[in-house]
């Protein structure tokens, strides 16, 4: 007879892998997250897909691959269903920013991964879409919160000092990415 040994880590991983609800690092961001304890948790809502995500994706110094896979699916290109790997550094920046905002409201995801076709279509409609957008590499997200202003979200993301942050006040969202540290917008 083989005796199974269940560890605390195995139990936490099993819990984290089931923590998603779906309907039909950069050093600085990681540093801000260190004070969050032994877990990192991402909370988002995607109105276009009608899905919610409340996912523990990091426990005791390790990313949980099934959780990252679920985040990849959640942040897919909703226009064509294509899934792409989301850079964990971008997830850490979103999580650190959210923690700084001290709210339980999930981020509303407007855009995560974008296929080249979607990005080209958006470029035809708006001059504000980059030709080589980090969205196409799974390194960016456009987010909003109804309980916080664009400026508050922008300032929280900038405080992470861990990537690009764009303020789009007229469209009511903030862009966060894990590229070079920079900021733009009004």
DSSP string, 30-57: HHHHHTT-SEEEEEEEETTTTEEEEEEE
Which residues of the chain register pLDDT less than 50?
1-27
pLDDT of residue 2: 40
Digit-coded pLDDT (tens) for 122-170: 999 987 888 899 999 999 999 999 999 999 999 999 999 999 999 999 9
Q: Tally Cβ neighbours within 10 Å of residue 54.
A: 13
The fold adopted by the segment(s) 8-24+27-185 is: Muramoyl-pentapeptide Carboxypeptidase; domain 2 (3.30.1380)
Segments making up each domain of the chain, as ranges: 8-24+27-185
Residue 62, both tokens: 């390790």
pTM attached to this predicted model: 0.80
167's tokens: 């303020």
């Amino acid at each position: 007879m083989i005796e199974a040994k269940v560890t605390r880590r195995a139990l936490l991983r099993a819990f984290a892998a089931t923590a998603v609800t779906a309907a039909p690092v950069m050093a600085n961001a990681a540093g801000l997250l260190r004070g969050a304890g032994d877990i990192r948790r991402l909370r988002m809502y995607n109105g276009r897909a009608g899905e919610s995500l409340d996912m523990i994706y990091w426990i005791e110094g390790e990313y949980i691959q099934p959780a990252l896979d679920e985040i990849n699916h959640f942040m897919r290109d909703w226009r064509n269903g294509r899934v792409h790997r989301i850079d964990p550094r971008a997830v850490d920046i979103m999580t650190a920013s959210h923690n700084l905002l001290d709210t339980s409201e999930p981020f509303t995801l407007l855009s995560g991964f974008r296929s080249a076709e979607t990005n080209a279509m958006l470029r035809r409609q708006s001059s504000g879409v980059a030709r080589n957008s980090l969205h196409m590499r799974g390194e960016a997200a456009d987010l909003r919160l109804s309980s916080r202003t664009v400026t508050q979200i922008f300032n929280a993301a900038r405080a992470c000092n861990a990537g690009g942050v764009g303020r789009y006040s007229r469209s009511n969202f903030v862009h966060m990415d894990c590229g070079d540290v920079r900021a733009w917008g009004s």
